[in-house]
Amino acid sequence: MRATDAAGGETVRETAEYQHAKLRVEELRSQIAYHDHRYFVLDSPEISDADYDRLIVELRELEERHPELITPDSPTQRVGGAPVETFGIVEHRVPLLSLANAFSGEQLRAWHARASRLIERSDFAMVCEPKIDGLACALVYEDGSLVTAATRGDGMRGENITVNVRTIRSVPSALRDKGQGTRGKGQGARDKGQGARDKGKGNGDLPARFEVRGEIYMTKSGFERVNAERGEAGEPLFASPRNSAAGSVRQKDSRVTASRPLDAFWYQLGWWEAGGGTREARGGKREVGGGIWRSPGTHWEALGWLRDLGFKVNPNIQRFTSLDEVIGFCEGWVEKRESLDYEIDGIVIKVDDLGLQRQMGAVGREPRWAIAYKFPPTQATTKLLQIAVNVGRTGTLNPFAILEPVHVGGAKVQMATLHNEDDIRRKDIRVGDMVIVQRAGDVIPQVVGPVLSLRVPGTRRFSMPKRCPSCKTEVVRNEGEAAYYCPNRQCPEQRTRLLEHFVGRGAMDIEGIGEQLARLLMARGLVRDGADLYGLKDRREELIGIERLGAKSVDNVLANIEASKRRPLARVLVALGIRHVGGEVATALAQQFGGMDALMSATAEQIAELPGIGLVIGESVAEFFSRAENREMVERLRSAGVNLVEARGAAREGPLSGLTFVVTGRLERLSRNEAESLIKAHGGAVGSSVTKKTDYVVAGAEPGSKLAKAEALGTAVLDEGGFLGLLAERGISV
């Protein structure tokens, strides 16, 4: 591409391909710089992480093909956006480097092969850590006390956020107490009042100054609560938990930061100082103050040391000695990531030996001894083409988004849920907006929010239709509820949806009848509701005439309908589609009343007396059975031979008999399901809402409105420790 002229000077022969690459590099750098500023400085990203990564990958590939185009200020040579000087600037003694990315097991193998060649060995251990999607932070401690907290910034200089970080409870403010050992604040590092170190060791257990690096984040549940509060206050919503965490630590009023549900994980010893200047983390014995501090020789040891000091270290970090184990760990977390109450977007893999890390060094702004395995994207940006509305089985009008097709989480997405009108207005989502779409695991895609900076003029706020899209009946909205309803019980769409629900899993579970066949049966007048299905055995020939239904398929469907007659009463109650009656409530009703007749005769007050039911559900059930058409359908089910009686066995007796519990929030030692199963297994009752009949509320982290209701009613509240103590007092081991 370059040639030397006769005078010895260098000339550039720019081919069309080179010229195109040069222009594209300039364009990519401009785009990336813009998005860096919005992400790192303004906390208001316009594109998803996956879209951003694609820009970086394209730029890196172009620079690899044309090294002469690489410049020191290229985004591939930088870490992040410049810090905001409002909070003051902190110079990082050792740069906070960014990480190279791998998107597959093969790319991890390529990284491992490069690392092996570099150190001339392949038998090195690696540590795998969940990659928290939060705000990178560096803490500096002097004589065991926190003196500085700073953001990553551009890797060399960050923002001073010390005052705000001090409000985060999982950040230890002090690690020592007059030479009496570490105090481990915020992490539960104490053991029966003992510090993480034995008392009386003097000052030898800590270096004079050292830096700890980690990630500040906001929990998913906390993010939802904060956005709900901001929506009610008419404030703009945060785009993501990461965006929310970044905005929270950059508050001018630290009381605002303190009010936010922030947490942090700490994952690296950055540097330490012991009288002879600054050193990056490395192994060895060093004199510190009046004692000896043995600095860790491996990253795994460093994490243990940090944990002992009281820093919150992620419990899911693991150490492996083979690459196959590392790849299995990474791929396993692709699905498990949704089980966490915080966002992770990948797994960070680090060479464990700190000496090897030092030997491998860095290239540009990326360490050679670490890499980030990035998960498939669960978010993408696309255009909202239309907001449509469908009708549910209970008459609810449900808005949904029709989108320009986009791939999210490995699937092509063209539609996404929008919840209700209030949610759409709170997020200010409008037709024509560029929107962020999210798909987590197998969850239905949802619209997170609009990219306001890309909004075109002339868009209008959304309003629900005044009439039902199916039957044109005027819709209603009950006071205190978010949903609009079509009050017409004969609405064709309602009846079709109810039939789909009737045959579904968790209800009558009739295989062979899906959405398409249910609509055909309704359209041809073969059924009006679920009870009519049991008369189809007399219309076999008509069924065979339906498109794609042969004789064998029809016989299978009829056999499945016949088998469904033996379903338990609770499943029948679910199938009826009574509002607020799901599997747990249906089981409680079936066990309490023993049969359909007793339940149909009960008053709302009698139903509400059941533990965990309450008046709202009681009124819904009583109102359902007060309608003549519903009672008539029950009689047709009875005539068809459908089971309407529950086998009433004796209630389980145990040490918790007579007590009703409500479990709310996130527990640490037990899952909520495990806690509720323990209660039921030992004779107790579990409610879904707090009433005057609730004996105990077991409250974990982020308990929500149930805790407030318990406090208003004067109901006894137990934290997880109190709950486990109650179980132990009654002879129940966990």
Active site positions, annotated: 131
Dist. CA 239–CA 209, nearest whole Å: 37
DSSP 40: I
| Residues 294, 296: Cα–Cα separation, whole Å | 6
Nearest to 300 by CA among 280, 285, 314, 279: 314
504-520 exposure pattern, b = at least 16 Cβ within 10 A, e = fewer: beebbebeebeeebbbb
SS3 state of residue 10: strand
CA gap 719, 699 in Å, rounded: 5
- What is the DSSP annotation of 593-635? H-BHHHHHH--HHHHHTSTTTHHHHHHHHHHHHHSHHHHHHHH
Question: What's the one-letter identity of residue 171?
Answer: V
Contact 206, 293 (CB under 8 A): yes
Count of helix runs (H) and strand runs (E) in the chain? 24, 27
Instruction: Tell the residue number behind the tokens 């193998």, with chain if given.
Output: 109
- Angle between helical axes of 49-65 and 16-36 (0-180°, round to 10): 140
List alpha helices for 196-338, DSSP H: 220-232, 241-249, 254-259, 299-309, 323-336
Rg (alpha carbons) of the chain, rounded to whole number: 31
Distance between CA 598 and CA 614 in Å, rounded? 18
Q: Regarding beta strands 344-351 and 370-374, do their DSSP bridges make them parallel or antiparallel, or are they unpaired?
A: antiparallel
In DSSP terms, 661 is beta-bridged to: 686, 696
- The helix/strand/coil state of 490 is coil
Amino acid present at 138: A
- Whether the CB-CB separation of 424 and 400 falls below 8 Å is answered with no
Beta strands in 184-240 (DSSP E): 209-218
Beta carbons within 10 angstroms of residue 674's beta carbon: 13
CB 724 within 8 A of CB 717: no
Q: How far is CA 48 from the centre of its chain?
A: 16
Those residues with Cβ within 8 angstroms of residue 91's Cβ, 6 or more apart along the chain or in another chain: 156, 157
Token pair listed for 381: 């940006």
CB 393 within 8 A of CB 498: yes
Residue 52, CA distances (Å) to 47, 84, 164, 365, 385 in order:
7, 21, 29, 18, 23
Task: Give which of 253, 351, 312 is closest to 134, Cα–Cα.
Answer: 312
* 522-532: burial string, b at 16+ Cβ within 10 Å, e else: beeebbebbbb
